Amino acid sequence: MPVDAQAAIDMLKELRALTSDENGAQRLAWSPVWLKARAWFQSRLRELPVEHHLDAAGNSWTTLAGASPKALILGSHLDSVPNGGWLDGCLGVIAAYAVLRRIADEYESKPPITVRLVDWADEEGARFGRSLFGSSAFAGTQSIEQDRSRTDAGGTRLEDAVATCDVSIDAIGDAGVERKNAAAYLELHIEQGSVLEKMGLPLAAVLGTKGVERHAITFHGQEAHSGSTPMTARRDALAAAAKLALEIRTIAKRHPDAVCTMGSLKTFPGIVTAVVGRCEAALDQRDLDAGVLAEMYDEAQQKSIQFAAEEGCTVEWSRIWNIAPEPFHPQLIELCEGAIRETIGRSHRMPSGPLHDAAEVSRAGIPTVMMFVQSLKGISHNKIEDTSEEHLKLAIEAFDKLASKTMAWIQAS
């Protein structure tokens, strides 16, 4: 029985009309628009023979009971960044719905294994800066004490915001009960980059999520008058930082999938009539190989020391945050490639630079894989985010094939 990919695309358009404005999607987690999106989605699920509940972290679970309690989990997230795109996150939820519906129809409500659909709570972390909120609670990697007092731009605490949605931050770890009988997790997502478009490919199997090393780097020089200080006498902290900003590109290019980004720079005193005495920068480095990540960090640190010395400055490093690379399950990657080849004739493997809920599920020891579909112009987290309808249809069809293959794999294991 074929999956109804067109119906899923129509649902995505309906959700866009319901929860977007002229600036893009507005499904910010814990907001009235996000709750509206969830209520709309649950209204569609009432047509199916399923059980629904919210767990202790606000994750939304829909279960189609099977002959075996072993569960295949399909999902993603309905929340968006402010002024976001129409596909980020919600494509995976709606595609999972289409697959769940196909399975319910094909097996007359009793599949050989249990199939569950999850809409993770607050994947984006756009309001409080805590990404993967619900999936980390599910996985047991939540950080309650660090997170409870996070505030948004208006001063509202995370603890208070989740409470308005009947979530107690002290109890979110209880979401781990949902891991019982979980046999595999699959997630469909837009690529959010330009690799597939440049290759002329609609789909890819995802190898895993890259690890991240994020550091604050402060160069210390000497403030001085910009008119009276000779160039040879300057201790310009910005000059040292600028050299590093260019060097990290060379460091990253030595490794095929690595990326390094210096996306934040602050100068002090920050006026045109003074040489920069202090420059604060933030460096983000990512790769799927932990060894490569460590090597890039060491290289950048050594280069920063070199450039600081060249400019008569000193440099300090402090870690902002880091997360280890998370490779996905090798057998599920093979199944994903097989589903893609059956759909479009050829496949491609690639790592994910952005973080996803799938990484937290995998971190919990549950076999996991993701499938990417091409993003036009590589743009995401923006109202112009888009994917051709032809590619969306192929993605949903391939994802359905992956679900069938994974169900058979679970039964055989």
Instruction: Establish whether the linkage from the previous residue to 82 is cis, with ω within 30° of 0.
Output: no
pLDDT score for 321: 87
* DSSP, res 382: S
What is the per-residue pLDDT across 294-336, written as a single tens digit (0 to 9) for each? 999 999 999 999 999 999 999 999 999 899 999 999 999 999 9
- Name the one residue in this structure whose structure tokens are 């399950």: 329
pLDDT digits (tens, 9 = 90+) for 100-122: 999 999 999 799 999 999 999 99
In the predicted model, what is the mean pLDDT of the chain?
Answer: 97
pTM of the model: 0.93
Closest CA to 186 of 139, 263, 116: 116
Round to whole Å and give the CA distance between 155 and 315.
33
- Residue 5: CB partners within 8 Å, gap ≥ 6? 98, 392, 393, 396, 397, 400
Residue 1 banded pLDDT, cuts 50, 70, 90? confident
pLDDT of 47 above 90:
no
